[in-house]
């Protein structure tokens, strides 16, 4: 059982008038990138909040890093880090101050070096001493994710990490997620974009109307779809290709 990072069975959750989760079962293995796909209002955030001890389920059980979220929330919190759907950064502090604050709250011995490293890694060194209120959306998101990496948590939750980012920003986040995963961190991310799940995830689950309707590797999911037909069509570049081509030279800065 030691290779299991998250184990959820029969999870149910309703709000006053709506039943959001109707019995969710899923398993995330240690070190993998797990993508939870779902439309607006599918309940992705609700599930992430339960797994990160911010909300309590009505029934069913959830174990994170081997600890039950209801019985041992403190131990769960010691094992995880959350980057919520909306950037949870302090606008009035500088980027550096935000990171230092988290490092202090995690009681890390070498917080200066850790913070400098993260600023470097997330390309925020130049902006480190500016107030976050002057940051662009992409920078804010990068800082947000950097804050979640302080203290090297075992499992990291990313709730729609690329929503609202431009294509370039999205690619940066993807690169970061892959790097993270290569260091052995388990990544649980939610997304509305099939393409994002395809790019990043070792395993993909689709949350629809309160349950997980499919769950598997990309190859397994592809088998569920009709086999590809060979057609000859002229491939037009997508707007995204064009955009990326134009700004491509900027990339090397």
Q: How far is the CB of 121 from another protein (least distance, A)?
A: 19
Asked whether position 45 contacts ligand ATP by CB under 6 A, the answer is yes
Strands 33-37 and 203-208: parallel
Binding test (CB under 6 A) with ligand ATP, winner from 43, 95, 138, 210: 43
Among 53, 111, 186, 191, binds another protein (CB under 8 A): 53
Q: Which residues pair with residue 74 across a beta bridge?
A: none
* Residue carrying structure tokens 């804050």: 147
Please say which residue, 26 or 150, places its beta carbon nearer to ligand ATP: 26
The radius of gyration computed from the CA coordinates of the chain, to the nearest angstrom, equals 19
Q: Does residue 44 interact with ligand ATP by CB under 6 A? A: yes
Task: Pull the structure tokens for residue 107.
Answer: 């009681």
User: Which two structure tokens, joined as six digits, stand for 24?
Assistant: 């969710």
**Residues from 197 through 226 that contact ligand ATP (CB under 6 A):** none
In sequence order, the 6+-apart residues with CB closer than 8 A to the CB of 141 are 87, 161, 162, 164, 165, 169, 173
Residues 102-161 that bind another protein (CB under 8 A): 102, 104-107, 131, 147
Confirm if 214 and 206 have CB atoms less than 8 A apart.
Answer: yes
Interface pick for another protein out of 58, 71, 91, 220 (rule CB under 8 A): 91
- Regarding 85 and contact with ligand ATP (CB under 6 A), the answer is yes
What does DSSP say about strands 80-83 and 155-159: parallel, antiparallel, or unpaired? Answer: parallel
**Distance (Å, whole) CA 11 – CA 13:** 7
Q: What residue 53 binds from another protein, ligand ATP, Mg ion, none (CB within 5 to 8 A, per partner kind)? A: another protein
- Is 171 an interacting residue with respect to another protein (CB under 8 A)? no
CA 177-181-183 angle, to 5 degrees, is 125
- Residues at the interface with another protein (CB under 8 A): 49, 52-56, 74, 77-78, 80-82, 84-93, 97, 101-102, 104-107, 131, 147
- Residues at the interface with ligand ATP (CB under 6 A): 15, 18, 20, 38, 40-46, 85, 192
């Amino acid at each position: 059982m030691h290779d299991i990072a998250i184990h959820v069975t029969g999870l149910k959750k309703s709000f006053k008038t709506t039943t959001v989760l109707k019995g969710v079962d899923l398993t995330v293995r240690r070190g993998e990138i797990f993508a939870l796909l779902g439309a607006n209002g599918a309940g992705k955030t609700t599930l992430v909040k339960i797994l990160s001890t911010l909300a309590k389920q009505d029934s069913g059980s959830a174990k994170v890093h081997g600890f039950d979220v209801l019985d041992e929330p403190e131990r769960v919190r010691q094992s995880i880090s959350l980057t919520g759907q909306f950037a949870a950064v302090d606008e009035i502090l500088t980027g550096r101050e935000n990171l230092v604050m988290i490092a202090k709250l995690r009681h890390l011995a070498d917080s200066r070096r850790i913070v400098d490293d993260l600023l470097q890694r997330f390309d925020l060194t130049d902006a480190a001493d500016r107030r976050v209120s002057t940051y662009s959306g992409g920078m804010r998101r990068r800082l947000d994710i950097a804050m979640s990496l302080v203290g090297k948590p075992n499992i990291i939750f990313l709730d729609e990490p690329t929503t609202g980012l431009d294509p370039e920003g999205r690619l940066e986040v993807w690169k970061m997620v892959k790097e993270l995963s290569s260091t052995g961190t388990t990544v649980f991310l939610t997304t509305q974009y099939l393409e994002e799940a395809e790019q990043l995830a070792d395993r993909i689950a689709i949350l629809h109307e309160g349950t997980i309707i499919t769950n598997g590797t990309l190859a397994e999911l592809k088998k569920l779809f009709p086999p590809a037909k060979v057609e000859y069509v002229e491939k037009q570049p997508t707007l995204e290709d064009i955009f990326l081509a134009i700004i491509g030279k900027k990339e090397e800065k």
